[in-house]
């Protein structure tokens, strides 16, 4: 019940913030109109990242498991003539954890794809809607956790260098009855963050995300999970179109009514190649903040809840 109340409270706060941003937009002065680009355009990136992770289930071990993991991701933005944008993104990640901390189930590459629609109401406020699908498969076919999710949110530019954003949505695993555990089944999530671009060629982001599911390990064990992170992107002046990426994230995944939980901390470094005239600032200008993290990552840690 505590998890449900906390989810409701966070969702209410997130929606209230979005509504308040909407009110600000409605009250915006006449000199803040929507300013569409001169013509439609498109741009994107492809990137690679290395993660050093440390994860611990305190009920199984007193020592954490360490691992190197790798991912490849990309996004492509179609900016429409009216200033709106459609962004398609995808990621594939190979997690290198020992199978002892994934329920003795060797993991396979996990992947996710989503699509976003971003619509500016004025020069400060951009609304968004998104939908996606992810899968965290394991060697055992009964541990192939699929998750679908939908949601919406807002991106509000408080100044030329500072923006706040929020997302809220619903996600659920597929074939829950056929799986060994529920996965991210019948869950809700909220995400909030801030972006700062006042350092010239660098954009910094801080964010927090929370999710709650009706079922995680089984019908008597709902899920409670959260993550916080700081990340950045810096254009490399000596190498055209290349952006360095880096960040740190801590997540916690808990099957309630059970002693099993996982705490994971990861540090990442990588690079993106921008094409089509794209840049980190260009993605920020259209209000793109990517996809919520918890639905897929919680699916990856499901076997450890057994």
The boundaries of the domain holding residue 271 are 2-305
Asked if pLDDT for residue 32 goes beyond 70, the answer is no
pLDDT of residue 142: 85
| pLDDT, tens digit (0-9, with 9 covering 90-100), for 102-149 | 878 889 999 999 999 999 998 899 999 999 999 999 988 888 999 999
Within 10 A of 43 (CB to CB), how many other CB atoms are there?
A: 18
CA-based nearest residue to 251, from 296, 287, 290: 296
CA-based nearest residue to 67, from 266, 271, 300: 266
Per the structure, how many domains does the chain have?
1
Within 10 A of 27 (CB to CB), how many other CB atoms are there?
A: 8
- Token pair 């290395």 in the structure block, residue: 50
Q: What is the CATH number of the domain that holds 95?
A: 2.40.160.40
Look at residue 136 and give its three-state secondary structure. strand
Rounded mean pLDDT of 182-205? Answer: 95
| pLDDT, tens digit (0-9, with 9 covering 90-100), for 42-73 | 999 999 999 999 999 887 777 899 999 999 99
Residue 7: in which H helix or E strand, if any? Answer: helix 2-26
């Amino acid at each position: 019940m505590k998890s449900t109340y906390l989810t409701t409270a966070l969702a209410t706060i997130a929606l209230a913030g979005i509504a308040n941003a909407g009110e600000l937009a409605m009250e915006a002065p006449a000199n803040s109109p929507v300013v569409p680009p001169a013509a439609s355009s498109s741009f994107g990136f492809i990137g690679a990242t290395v993660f050093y992770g440390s994860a611990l289930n305190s009920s199984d071990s007193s020592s954490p498991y360490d691992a190197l993991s790798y991912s490849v991701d990309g996004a492509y933005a179609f900016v429409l003539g009216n200033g709106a944008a459609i962004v398609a993104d995808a990621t594939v990640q190979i997690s290198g954890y020992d199978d002892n901390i994934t329920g003795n189930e060797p993991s396979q590459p996990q992947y996710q794809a989503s699509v976003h629609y971003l619509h500016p109401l004025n020069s400060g406020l951009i609304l968004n809607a998104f939908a996606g699908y992810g899968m965290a498969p394991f060697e055992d076919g009964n541990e192939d956790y699929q998750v679908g999710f939908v949601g919406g949110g807002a991106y509000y530019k408080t100044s030329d260098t500072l923006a706040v954003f929020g997302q809220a949505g619903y996600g659920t695993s597929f074939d829950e009855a056929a799986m060994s555990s529920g996965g991210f089944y019948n869950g809700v999530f909220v995400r909030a963050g801030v972006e700062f671009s006042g350092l010239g060629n660098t954009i910094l982001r801080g964010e927090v995300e929370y999710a709650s599911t009706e079922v995680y390990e089984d019908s008597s064990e709902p899920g409670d999970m959260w993550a916080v992170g700081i990340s950045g992107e810096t254009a490399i002046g000596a190498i055209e179109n290349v952006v360095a990426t880096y960040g740190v994230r801590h997540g916690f995944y808990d099957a309630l009514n059970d002693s099993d939980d996982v705490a994971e901390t990861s540090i990442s470094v990588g690079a993106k190649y921008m094409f089509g005239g794209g840049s980190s600032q260009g993605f920020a200008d259209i209000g793109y903040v990517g996809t919520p993290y918890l639905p897929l990552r919680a699916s990856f840690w499901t076997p450890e809840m057994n």
